Structure 1
Amino acid sequence: MKLNFVVFLCVLMLSSCASKKDIWYIQDAGENNTAQINFQQTTIQPNDILKIDVETLVPEAAQPYNKVTNANQFSLLAFQLDGYLVSEEGNIIFPVLGEIALANLTMNEAEVKIKDLLVEGGHLKNPTVRVRVVNAKVTVLGEVNQPGTYNFSEQNITLLQALGYAGDLTINGKRDDVIITRDVDGVRTITHINLTNTDFMNSEYFYIKPNDTIIVNQNKPRVTNSGYVTGLTTLLAVATVALSSIIILSR
């Protein structure tokens, strides 16, 4: 009876432990330590909020094409409130020009399109147009230290940066099967990422797109623990009581 219990205890403890293969990131970094970086252009999607600035050599000439922001309110929230909301059809309403279709264009393509409309329509000569998304965000859920939704203003952030915003994965996070959901051009995709090797760094999911959702599920040791006991201290306490009972009963 004692032997059977000891064997059961050992099996239980081993099944509750995670190896370095479960918790180390990019374990093949020594083999793949150099690669070309391929930055990805984000395309404009419905519900994006755009900040659009038009400038010319004569500032007064560009005033009708710019929204005026209070000098004391230069904040992300102020830019979002004063920005151009992309409709479900992919359009914005721009001063003087009216409705403009921008869905699925990159920022550079949107800038060129607005500039051409201003020049070809005889509105401005040689204007400079800048377009930027001001409500870019990523949601991180599951086995991370600080799950939530995080705004970012950079043109490109990586999957690792997004996980860094959420305080990194907990020790119980499943590193070899991180899920990313993405909505682009009216199509939702769900993909699985393995953070324990470098392959994901060369995929289209290495760079996060606005409105991506990252889901980190529990790893096998955590799931196993949840079915028995919730911590090593509790496990040892149970084992101590069980062994004491066996000793007493065997006398």
Structure 2
Amino acid sequence: MKALQIPFFASLLLLLAASCVSNKRIIYLQETDEEIPLYTESELVPNFTEDYFLQYNDVVDINVKTTSEELNEIFGIAAGDQRLQMNMAQGAQNGGDIFFINGYTLDENGMVEIPLLGEIELLGLTTKQAQTKIEEKLKAYVNEEDFFVRVRLGGVRFSALGEFNRNGNFTILQNRISIFQAIAHAGDMTTTAKRNEVVLIRQYPEGTKSFRVNLNDQRIVESEFYFIRPNDMLYAEPMKIRELGTGVNFMQTFQLAVTTLSAVLLVLNAVR
């Protein structure tokens, strides 16, 4: 019986040792062997660039300025600029979505309604094409050299569900963010999340598609999924380890090992 216990205890010690993380691996600015290189460098990977086409429920920031004070008042430029500054200050304070109030949301028909210009369909257009279309409408009221139009996305909105430390809907006030920036914004993924099968649900003008993305593969930076798009949804499934209830850190592994050892000893004593 003792001969059986020795390999068991040896295996237990190996399991506990493998679960430990040395301080040498987590302390910054240590004195290290000079023969170990300070850094390693990978090859430059070109970004995957692709035009984004406006979708339903996208929020766009449309800025129209002219040399006519009367037209500027119609477009609400003075009041809009002041309101935007106030909302930016408030958004910086409490994380609010500043463009949801001041921007233009594409309705179920892909239309936006702009003062004086009326309804304009922007669905399926890039921001540059949308800008050109608005400029063509504006030429009926102002000479081409007397106005300025700018169209841009009102931030990137996405959702994070499942094995994230912070689930919910998020807005990042940038024109482009990577999938890792989005994950960081959601508090990173939990220890038990499947990083090799993250589900990404993406909207297209003709419908919706879902993809399973392997974040463990460095080739992700070369793919179309490296930069997320507005209205993307990320879903992280749990590993089997969560379903089985095994430990994911030292204390949990230690508790599991102690419990298992106690059960084995009880069975051995009952057999004897």
Is TM > 0.5 for Structure 1 vs Structure 2? yes
Q: Give the one of 159, 184, 207 matched to 2:204.
A: 184
TM-score by length of 1: 0.78
Q: Give the one of 144, 149, 163 matched to 1:125.
A: 144
8 Å contact 2:156–2:176 — kept in the other structure? Answer: no
Which residue of 2 is the match for residue 45 of structure 1?
55
8 Å contact 2:156–2:175 — kept in the other structure? Answer: no
| Aligned counterparts, 1:87-236, within 5 A | 87-119=107-139, 121-126=140-145, 127-134=147-154, 136-223=156-243, 225-226=244-245, 231-236=252-257
Q: Give the AA of the match of 1:45.
A: Q
8 Å contact 1:54–1:66 — kept in the other structure? Answer: no
Q: Give the AA of the match of 1:235.
A: L
SS in 2 for 1:189: strand
CA RMSD after TM alignment: 3.2
Query: Number of matched residues?
Result: 232
State the Cα deviation string for residues 87-144 of structure 1 (Å, max 9, x = none).
111111111111111111111111111112212x143432211122326311112222
8 Å contact 1:181–1:188 — kept in the other structure? Answer: yes
Which residue of 1 is the match for residue 33 of structure 2?
none
Q: Name stretches of at least 5 consecutive residues in structure 1 with no aligned partner.
A: 19-29
8 Å contact 2:48–2:224 — kept in the other structure? Answer: no
Which residue of 1 is the match for residue 86 of structure 2?
73
- Quick one: structure 1 residues 164 and 177, their matched pair in 2 at CA, closer, same or farther if it must change by over 3 Å? same
8 Å contact 1:140–1:214 — kept in the other structure? Answer: yes
Which residue of 2 is the match for residue 63 of structure 1?
73
State the Cα deviation string for residues 33-59 of structure 1 (Å, max 9, x = none).
321123333322111222211123455
- Relative to its length, the structure with more helix (as a share) is 2
Which residue of 2 is the match for residue 34 of structure 1?
44
TM superposition shift of 1:220:
3.8
- Quick one: structure 1 residues 133 and 58, their matched pair in 2 at CA, closer, same or farther if it must change by over 3 Å? same
When structure 1 is superposed on structure 2, of 66-75 and 197-206 the one drifting more is: 66-75
8 Å contact 1:48–1:136 — kept in the other structure? Answer: no
Q: How much identity, in percent, do the aligned residues show?
A: 27
Q: Distance in 2 between matches of 1:116 and 1:190?
A: 37
Q: Give the AA of the match of 1:48.
A: D
Q: Distance in 2 between matches of 1:60 and 1:39?
A: 40
Q: Name stretches of at least 5 consecutive residues in structure 2 with no aligned partner.
A: 20-39, 92-96
8 Å contact 2:65–2:148 — kept in the other structure? Answer: yes
Q: Give the one of 250, 258, 269 matched to 1:237.
A: 258
TM-score by length of 2: 0.73
8 Å contact 1:32–1:198 — kept in the other structure? Answer: no
TM superposition shift of 1:78:
5.0
- Quick one: structure 1 residues 200 and 59, their matched pair in 2 at CA, closer, same or farther if it must change by over 3 Å? farther
Q: Distance in 2 between matches of 1:41 and 1:60?
A: 35
SS in 1 for 2:49: coil
TM superposition shift of 1:155:
0.8
- Quick one: structure 1 residues 176 and 33, their matched pair in 2 at CA, closer, same or farther if it must change by over 3 Å? farther
SS in 1 for 2:86: coil
State the Cα deviation string for residues 191-250 of structure 1 (Å, max 9, x = none).
111111222222211111111011111224334x33x67842441232232233145335
